[in-house]
Amino acid sequence: MVIAIVIVVAALVVGVLWGPARAYYLAWRESEVLKVEYAALVAQNEALDHDLDRLQSLEGIEDEARRRGYVYPGEEALVVKGVEDQQQTDPSLVQRAVDEYEANQPWYVLWLDAMFGYQSGS
């Protein structure tokens, strides 16, 4: 009889706490993903601010014009192939940061994700 009462009480406790625990966990996971996205966006914004500062100087304007193929009168433009332009801002930087964060989760977070039904991007 005591075992039956303990089982019923345990089931009631789990039933009552499941909803709030699941909501808390899902909110926590989403907030962690949003923190990663925010950090990536801040880094991307800082890079864009740096580019803006650089392009507001005479040297920066000249560098950008030369990168686009413009030359001063009397100069010849040379095109070097095989060199990638690394100054472009990558729009998928945020998604790559989130993917890296999700890939580096410890085992217990993956287990809790499965238990509470968390899906990345939901």
pLDDT digits (tens, 9 = 90+) for 17-66: 888 989 999 999 999 999 999 999 999 999 999 989 999 999 989 888 88
CA atoms within 13 A on the CB side of 15: 6
Helices and strands in the chain: count of H runs, count of E runs: 4, 0
CA angle, 18 then 116 then 11, to 5°: 30
What residues does each domain of the chain span? 26-116
Bigger pLDDT: 26 vs 92: 26
- Longest CA–CA span in the chain (Å) reads 100
**pLDDT given at position 80:** 76
**pLDDT given at position 85:** 61
Look-up of token digits 């990638």:
84
Mean pLDDT of all residues belonging to the chain: 86
The sign of the CA dihedral 49, 53, 59, 62 is positive
**pLDDT given at position 40:** 93
pLDDT band at 82 (very low <50, low <70, confident <90, very high): confident
Structure tokens at 18: 């499941």
pTM over 0.85: no
